[in-house]
Amino acid sequence: MKSKEISRARGLIARVLLVVSLPIVFLGLIDPLEGGIALLISVATLSLAFLAAGYWPRKTLWVPFVLAIVVGAIALLVAIFGPGRVDNAPLKFPLIALIWLYRAFVVAALVGLVMEVIRIFKASTFESNKDTE
């Protein structure tokens, strides 16, 4: 009996952490600097959620996260170490393209996270219906 209670508690913790991470990922859309920090916080929150749930997330979630963090880091490096100022004509277009690419990956990560939240809620609903029968 205790095993079922522990399993339910872990499932509840995973669901709460997944829902909490949704607005944090949305904050990642700001830009690579502040948004990158939000993405790293959400990765930590999601890692705890999936450890509690006991399974690894699908590629539709973690691949966009990794790509967003990599592209965001490249955009920051270009902005910091690029020639001249950020509003310089040669640097302006590549930096804007990197920022929009970063935002596209964050949106893809947000979609993947919503899919994971739906998946975990469906699985928990199925398990709770199975327990009541």
Range of the domain at 126: 2-132
pLDDT digits (tens, 9 = 90+) for 89-125: 666 778 889 989 999 999 999 999 999 889 888 876 6
Report the number of distinct structural domains present in the chain: 1
pTM, full prediction? 0.78
Structure confidence by residue, pLDDT tens digits, 73-88: 898 888 788 766 555 5
E strand spans, 10-104: none
DSSP count for the chain of H helices, then E strands: 4, 0
Instruction: Give Cα separations from 119 to 6, 40, 74, 78, 122 (angstroms).
Output: 20, 23, 32, 38, 5
